[in-house]
Every structure is written in C-alpha cells, then in structure tokens.
C-alpha cells in the first residue's frame, strides 16, 4: 500500500499536470470561441480557466496536508486536503453561475451565426479531459484523496460540457434557421451542468469535514484487527474520522477486569500498533480500556 508521502507526491503530480492541461485548453477554447463567435465554446473555455484555479487549490491543499503534526494540529494537517476539495466545489458553482449569466446575456442580445471552425477546440478538450478524469479518479480513490477525486469530477463534467458545446455549435451551423439560438442555449446548459457537479463536490467534502463515519465495512475491518490481539475480549465502541488521506480511530476494547493497570496499558499499545500496521487507511488509534462484562467468554488466545 502507498505511504502517506507517496500518496501526497502522486496527488501533487496529477494536480500540476491538470494545471498545465486545463490552462492550455482554456486558452484554446476561449480563443476559438471568441474568434468564431460561439457562446458555448467560449463558456467551455471559461470553465477550463476555472479548472486551473481549482487544480492549483488541490496542489496547495496537498502541500499543506503533507506537513507533519505539531502542537496546534496533533492529528496532522490532513484536513487542508479535504478543505481544498470543498473549495473546488465552490469554484465550480461560481463558475457555473458566471457561465449561465454570460449565456443569458447572449440570448438577450441579437442572434449571431458562429463559425464552424471552433468545433475542433471542444473535441480536443473531450479527449484530454477524459484522460485526466480517468487517471485522477483511479489515483484519487487509491490514495483516498477527497481533493483529487473532486478535481476528477471537475474533469468529468468538462467532458459533458465540451460535448454540449460541440453539439450546440453543430446544430447552429448545420441549420441556422431553426437552431440559431442553440449555441447560447448550449452555453447555458454547460453552466447548469457545472453548478450541479459543484454542489455534489461540496456535499461530499462537507460530509468528511463534519466527521461523517466511514463505511461499515471499514469499521468492521478495524474491529477484526483489534480482536486479533491476544487478551482483547471484544470491542465495545469504534469511531473514526478522516483527516486527509487516512482515518483516526477512537476505540473502547474489553479486557479481563482483573488485569492490572500496567497490563491493560501495554495491551492498549499493542492494539494501536497492530491496527496501524495491518490497516493502511488508519493513521492513529486512541484506545480506551473497558472491563469485560460479566458472563462474556474471554478471548481464547493469550500471551
């Protein structure tokens, strides 16, 4: 499994690559849209320009998340990575609103016939964004990066946006009598898609920032590893919260009520070490000792 350092390095590499790719596509599509007079292609270019800022935020968030724990942040700085994902979602919402406003302005003005030459710009964008989205989804889920997954959703919606822009421009060029307004309407549709995706990203990041528990399967794995340690008779409670790429766990283990304080203290450290060693998504464990309830059969294993 990747270490926290390798996870951060992988995330930063993809964030920088995304900045370069989105920057090039922003210049390409915005220029093509303005020269051809296409509102939908210009809208896609403006969205790609917002992607540059979003990817820079992801990069900075991962840079902050890689800092070691200190007195003010005993759980580390991983929340900066989740916070950057939240900011990406907010940027998407704002960008979508701006694209909608731009498209409405074009709809309110006199109709114009865009040039077909701009079609190649969103076509190129679709292929580039498909590559970035698939790669960042795979890497982001492998390293449990909320920010990189948020940026991948950003790229995924860019594919839809580019396709919408291309379809709208194609309709306008092929049949300007019937579809003269299709191009600015396509730009407005791009804005709506961006807003909806931004709201989804904001929701997902907010769940992690508010200490939403991990899926039941992950908690079950933590419990299984705890009871593997000899003299642990059960797990009464198990809570976990995400701080960046990994989780911090609070756990109440049940032990023999006749166990000494020194023995239970040593057992708690054994549980901590065993879980951190065996469960890659756990960064730290705080163990509380509870006496085994009367009548409970103790763990068959012993030291």
300 Cβ contact list (under 8 Å, min separation 6): none
pTM tops 0.75? no
- Among the residue ranges 73-87, 195-209, 234-248, the one predicted with the least confidence is 73-87
pLDDT of 1 over the 50 cut? no
What is the distance in angstroms between the CA of the first residue and the CA of the last residue of the chain? 29
Tell me what the mean pLDDT of segment 213-225 comes to.
87
Q: For the domain 4-209, what is the CATH code?
A: 1.20.1510.10
Where are any strands of DSSP class E within the chain? 234-243, 246-255, 282-291
Question: Which pLDDT score is estimated for 303?
Answer: 41
Q: Using the predicted structure, report yes or no on whether residue 297 has a pLDDT greater than 80.
A: no
Task: Indicate where the chain has its CATH 1.20.1510.10 domain(s).
Answer: 4-209
Q: What are the start and end residues of each CATH 3.30.70.1350 domain in the chain?
A: 216-291
- Mean of pLDDT values over 7-24: 78
Q: Which pLDDT score is estimated for 8?
A: 60
pLDDT for 275 beyond 80: yes
Please give the class, per CATH, of domain 216-291: alpha beta
């Amino acid at each position: 499994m990747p270490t926290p350092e390798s996870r951060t390095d992988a995330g930063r590499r993809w964030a920088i690559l995304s900045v370069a790719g989105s920057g090039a596509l922003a210049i390409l599509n915005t220029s093509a849209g303005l020269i051809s007079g296409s509102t939908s292609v210009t809208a896609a270019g403006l969205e790609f320009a917002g992607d540059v800022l979003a990817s820079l935020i992801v990069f900075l968030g991962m840079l902050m998340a890689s800092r070691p724990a200190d007195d003010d942040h005993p759980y580390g700085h991983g929340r900066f990575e989740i916070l950057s994902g939240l900011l990406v979602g907010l940027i998407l919402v704002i960008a979508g609103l701006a694209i909608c406003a731009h498209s409405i302005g074009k709809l309110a003005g006199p109709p114009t016939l865009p040039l077909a030459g701009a079609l190649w710009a969103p076509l190129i964008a679709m292929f580039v964004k498909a590559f970035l989205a698939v790669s960042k989804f795979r890497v982001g889920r492998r390293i449990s990066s909320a920010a990189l997954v948020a940026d991948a959703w950003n790229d995924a919606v860019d594919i839809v946006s580019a396709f919408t822009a291309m379809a709208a421009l194609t309709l306008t060029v092929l049949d300007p009598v019937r579809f003269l307004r299709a191009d600015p309407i396509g730009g407005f549709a791009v804005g709506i898609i961006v807003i909806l995706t931004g709201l989804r990203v904001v929701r997902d990041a907010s769940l992690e920032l508010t200490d939403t528990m991990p899926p039941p399967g992950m908690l079950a794995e933590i419990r299984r590893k705890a009871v593997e340690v000899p003299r642990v008779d059960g797990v009464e409670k198990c809570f976990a919260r995400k701080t960046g790429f990994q989780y911090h766990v609070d756990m109440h283990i049940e032990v023999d009520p006749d166990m000494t304080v020194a023995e239970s203290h040593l057992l708690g450290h054994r549980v901590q070490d065993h879980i951190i060693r065996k469960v890659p998504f756990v960064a730290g464990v705080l163990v509380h000792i509870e006496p085994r309830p009367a009548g409970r059969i103790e763990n068959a294993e012993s030291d």
